[in-house]
Amino acid sequence: MTQPEFVRLEVADGVGTIRLDRPPVNALNDAMRTELVAAATEAARRDDVRAVVVYGGERSFAAGADVSELATTDLPTIVANVRRLQDSLGVLATLGKPTIAALTGFALGGGLEIALSCDFRMAAENAKLGLPEVLLGTIPGGGGTQRLARLVGPAVAKDILYTGRQVRADEALRIGLVDTVLPAAEVYPAALARAATFAAGPPLALRALKLAVDEGLEVPLETGLAIERGHFVWTFGTEDRAHGMTSFLERGPGKAEFQGR
């Protein structure tokens, strides 16, 4: 089996790190996107991975698409590739486990689209986020227009998209684009620590929570409530639910050890 060149999955203590590694700034080419799908797919299927951190290293998360590759791509190829690009980030977005993007340096273009596909975003003080595709005469194609607007609202999203500007960490925190801002050296350890708390939780219930929230955002409230009912009933039939309630009654809250069954 061929070893990945740019993206690898590292697993320790229930947490999987999807490591982006294409120096100097993790510019996203087609091979990197393919390997990202493979890493996310592996993280989804592995029982020893209960939460996921996506990390690009101390210098940069991912500084967008490899423009030299895009500039030589013809229109028929783009038509085929853009759907593949959206589908690849969809694999990360629908990964049925808690996901955290640990952002250092640049998270631009496709890099920010990867971060937007995660449940949480923890940023370094030196982070700069943006979708600068308009400066190249085009628009984001990996879900950026849709996920950004859902996260920060349409007016704020349009300002970022129309200008192509880079958003600094303090502003990103204020508008809700990121959840936490920390010194650069602390971002990855903090993301691992947060992921570890999720890894200790009930994986089936966490998956149901993620599905209920994400599916419910796309439908009217009454339909969302029906989605919630379905997931609630399903979790009630799991061994984890029975164990969690027994543990609570016998030992108090927070002491159950869940097996994912």
What amino acid positions are annotated as catalytic residues?
Answer: 113, 133
Q: How far is CA 244 from CA 21, 97, 209, 212, in A?
A: 39, 19, 16, 20
What's 42's DSSP letter?
A: H
Question: Where would I find the beta strands (DSSP E) of the chain?
Answer: 7-12, 15-20, 51-55, 62-63, 99-103, 106-108, 120-124, 128-130, 167-168, 180-182
> What are the DSSP calls for 154-213, one per residue?
HHHHHHHHHH-PPEEHHHHHHHTS-SEEE-HHHHHHHHHHHHHHHHTS-HHHHHHHHHHH
